[in-house]
Chain A
């Protein structure tokens, strides 16, 4: 029985690693963004920082957290959103559902593989931050940040499933991008929350990206909005709502298909 989960995950991984578009989108994109914004801006900013207990960390370090959030979110939304939409829309999922595959294996494999890609992005980002951004942290803090980034991915798996159940096979990429980019910007992933226009700051509270980013920043001891527990609660609530919605859409979608 365990073997099925292993085979499903292994096959899912091979399938994605050979898709150039997926690798470019989920791995290279966030790294490139971090290069442009995090590293180049970081060079100028870090000079001006003074190291107090509650001061802003240097830009390269601050943006390591938010671009980590950005990268992990992309891997989840693309892996689940586009992955499920294509396989559902073009009949492949039907064949798997008719087979003795345990239904959980499909989702677990998607989760394991998306998280692996998310973790890969995190590791590469960290390497870049340390090598070119001059980011220095105690090992425990690196690990804590990595763990936070990976745990925070969960609501985005569920959000990806919503897209996967709603979007058609051809429109799924566009659907993912149309929520991925605005959520990244408004959640303060590209530009720190404090520099966002007031209107967007108020809207940000409604986005899972904002809460996720605040948690990642808390690991860096950067000043954050609200308490850590409020952000954990918000993400837990998003996970429940998104999962519930994905479930309803999934059940509804099965009945709708004509034969």
Chain B
């Protein structure tokens, strides 16, 4: 196995849902130790890209791989953790029970205490999920993503609906995970989130990667003052191409 093998890759991925094309032949690679943000408006295809990398839905064409394995394979599932947008998590289970169950799925999980510390759940291990605040709930979902000690995290809009403090808290935990050597693909529609966390940003619009680079490079593209202006410029540009 080559040393520089990407952690995750999407090669020329197209996804059709019936007559609707969610992704038009996108390329995306995550190298070891990278935190890549997939940035785009709602409905751009972010969640579809994540679902393909999770093996939850097959691509219509193209190749997807996690550590060189098929996304639905057991090898891929053992080496990856995921935080998805879950509308309702079973509420009559304690934080501890949720984490212990997910840990049992993996061959080399983190020790329970480490997962609790890494997700900032100390002191609420024995609370029922239903009694937790919004920020605490997101942290439990984050804990379920990291408890198997995976090399890759796929985080689908992990901070949606959180207040500023809870958001910053989760950012710190994501940064710590990367500092320990993990790789992350994070989807978001918050520009500041991509700016604050990512080594590299891929801007996605209408199923196409409209721009890719570091935060600084993306800002240059817009020839403007900030990421927000650049983002809007890219959105406009890529939508015009779509029409033409």
A92 with B90: CB separation less than 8 A: yes
A98 within 8 A of B: yes
Interface size range of chain A in the complex: 20 to 34
A259 with B48: CB separation less than 8 A: yes
B180 within 8 A of A: no
B105 with A4: CB separation less than 8 A: yes
* A-contact 0/1 string along B40-78, CB 8 Å cutoff: 000001011011001111000000000000000010011
B85 with A98: CB separation less than 8 A: no
B56 with A101: CB separation less than 8 A: no
A18 within 8 A of B: yes
- The segment out of B3-11, B96-104, B217-225 that lies at the interface is B96-104
Total A-B pairs, Cβ < 8 A? 82
**A207 and B101 alpha carbons, distance in the complex (Å):** 38
Known A8-B101, A100-B78: A259·B93 in contact at CB below 8 Å: no
A95 within 8 A of B: yes
**A18 and B55 alpha carbons, distance in the complex (Å):** 33
26 CB < 8 A contacts A-B: A7-B101, A11-B93, A14-B93, A15-B90, A15-B92, A15-B93, A18-B92, A90-B86, A90-B87, A90-B88, A91-B84, A91-B85, A92-B90, A95-B82, A95-B84, A98-B82, A99-B144, A99-B148, A100-B77, A101-B105, A255-B57, A258-B17, A258-B22, A259-B22, A259-B47, A259-B50
Excluding A11-B93, A18-B92, A259-B45, 18 further A-B contacts by CB distance (< 8 Å) are A3-B104, A8-B101, A11-B97, A11-B100, A15-B92, A16-B92, A19-B92, A86-B88, A91-B86, A92-B88, A95-B141, A98-B84, A99-B105, A100-B78, A100-B105, A100-B106, A255-B57, A257-B57
